[in-house]
Amino acid sequence: MTEQLRLMAVHAHPDDESSKGAATMAKYVSEGVDVLVATCTGGERGSILNPKLQGDPYIEEHIHEVRKKEMDEAREILGVKQAWLGFVDSGLPEGDPLPALPEGCFAVQDVDVAAGALVRLIREFRPQVITTYDENGGYPHPDHIMTHKISMAAFDAAGDPEKYPEAGPAWQPQKIYYNQGFNRPRTEALHKGLLERGLDSPYGEWLERWKTMGRERTLTTYVPCGDFFEIRDKALIAHATQIDPDGGWFRVPLEFQREVWPTEEYELAKSLVDTSLPEDDLFAGIRDN
């Protein structure tokens, strides 16, 4: 059955696939599952977040091409396929009041029109399972929120032959999940474990911020993938403009992470098959059918 299993991960920008669910994807690739990353934008308006590369005039002028090459390297590391939906990065608006979003960017597209590009890709690839972001985008970047909107619209429309007839024969995915890898239980467990071992924890500020946030997300699915954390980190480091290899992402030893919290977490948003919660497999309820 595994040769027939297909997973699509829908992400807003190049690098999101390596920071959200990357170990899960690498695990499924190792099992023979066909995995496709759908990247909505090219990350054209992304900042250079790695201080070692800030001020490089070539990167600043050619950020789109640079990020495309980074995506190619990360894709090879993860062993996944990857497709661009072709939308333009909206950037992260800052200030008070917030400025208007750039004309023509991803976040200002009509949802029904933009969802058509994803419907076409779903019908071509025919995934049983899709992962995406929740209604808050995981964090409130306009492109992440838009990614949620088109993912949910496309999940419903892809199986309806009367919708987007130009996008190919209908195909209905069976399950769609929200990435929830940055969650309070995981963060609390890692924070507590580090302090108990007399080690510094980078998670104290995160936990303080959580006190002011809204409701907790519901974690339904815990995918065991600790053996693939190293691949995850290598893929993330491949996005050199976005991540400092000496920065906070990599302060917690991998062996400690595997011991304390060896899973990546998801929230089941919709399922057209029967499954029992909690799950340890995104294909639960599908493998036997």
For the annotated binding site for Zn(2+), the residues are 13, 16, 144
Q: Where would I find the beta strands (DSSP E) of the chain? A: 6-11, 34-41, 81-87, 129-132, 175-179, 221-224, 263-271
Phi-psi region of 164 (alpha: psi -120 to 50; beta: other; left: phi over 0): left
Contact 34, 81 (CB under 8 A): yes
Cis peptide preceding 278, ω within 30 of 0:
yes
The annotation places the binding site at 13, 16, 144
d(CA 65, CA 77): 19
16: nearest Cα among 248, 242, 268, 264: 242
| Pairing mode of beta strands 221-224, 263-271 | antiparallel
Paired residues of 9 in beta bridges: 37, 131
